[in-house]
Amino acid sequence: MESHLPLKVLLAAPRSFCAGVTRAIQIVEACLERYGAPIYVRHAIVHNEHVLREMEAKGVIFVEELSEVPDGVPVVFSAHGVPPSVVNAAKERELPTIDATCPLVARVHQEAVRHHKAGCQVLVIGKKNHPEIIGLLGHLPTKDCQVIDDIEAARNIQIPIHQPVAYVTQTTLSVEDTGQIVEVLRKRFPKLIEPRKETICYATTNRQQATRTIASGAEALLVLGSPTSSNSTRLTEVARQVGCQRVRLVPEPDELNLAWLDDVNVLGLTAGASAPEYLVQRLLDRLALRRTLVIEEVPVTEEKIQFRLPLERFPKIPQMPVSRPSIKSQHSQAGFHRSKSIALSQELHLA
């Protein structure tokens, strides 16, 4: 049903791709340009079905095990990181490998290893079945690390007497929930050794802060992102924590029943760090057909971080071109999509 009633949209900023996701996607695209299809990627390069479908259409094949990769074919490790056992298995088979691990995830690996070498029991705050945690645990002996996935686990964890205790975290956790877990650990272990730098990444923190800001003034809030995306699902939790009870995670903008918003006058809108900006644009287009949009972008901070592509580490493969790739895909032009979205906002009576 078409309506001319206004709908105010509070658009979170920052939102959508972070620097680590952009870098991982660019690495895969550079491999396609340099080596040609097919390119194999161990695990989903990022947790978003739209990105994966587009890559599959270009000749990318996603696998969970190296045994699924033919001999001699390039394989990319996903942004979530891999355990050293996977790296070693690839070396044994002489598979050409390109590591797309987010530099911030790699930093957490280094922090955990540093604590272990110092003799600490390393507490890893995160979801034990998440690929980022699986990759991290592979860097540590089982007896010297434990996963803490909630406050109850923090209260009950047992540490060998006289062993120093340190912690690191998954990069995509809820800042508030993690803070509560750390407080419990501090009370139990007064000499708890903390990371030298925050291990929840800047993009996770910024998107949660932006979501918290718009959710407090919205009657309903939509998060564009995949159910498999930890950072996207955390945004729905953050919105509910500040009192916005009408919250939905939206994997497919075209499938959202817009009638759900008919009685909403103020809508919050954001996108997880693995969700492309064009999904925001697509949803705004749909909403504009039904309501008169008054869009207000609500910036909480400006992100300027960019990660360099490790082009010098791309392996040279016999009988394959080795030209320097030029990255010109829609995914690597996150700024373009952001500008396009803001331009549309102005056309739709920008507040």
Per-residue b/e over 95-108, b at no fewer than 16 CB within 10 Å?
Answer: bbbbbbbbebbebb
CB 242 within 8 A of CB 216: yes
Contacts (Cβ under 8 Å, ≥6 apart) of 275: 16, 17, 48, 50, 224, 225, 226, 229, 232
CB 287 within 8 A of CB 301: no
Interatomic CA distance for residues 14 and 338, integer angstroms: 10
Per-residue b/e over 36-55, b at no fewer than 16 CB within 10 Å?
Answer: eebbbbbbbbbbbbbbbebb
Interatomic CA distance for residues 217 and 210, integer angstroms: 12
Tokens of 10: 């509070």
- Is-catalytic flag, 132? yes
Choice among 29, 33, 111, 132 that is catalytic: 132
Other Cβ atoms closer than 10 A to 18: 30
Interatomic CA distance for residues 68 and 270, integer angstroms: 36
CB 117 within 8 A of CB 33: no
Residues labelled as active-site residues: 132
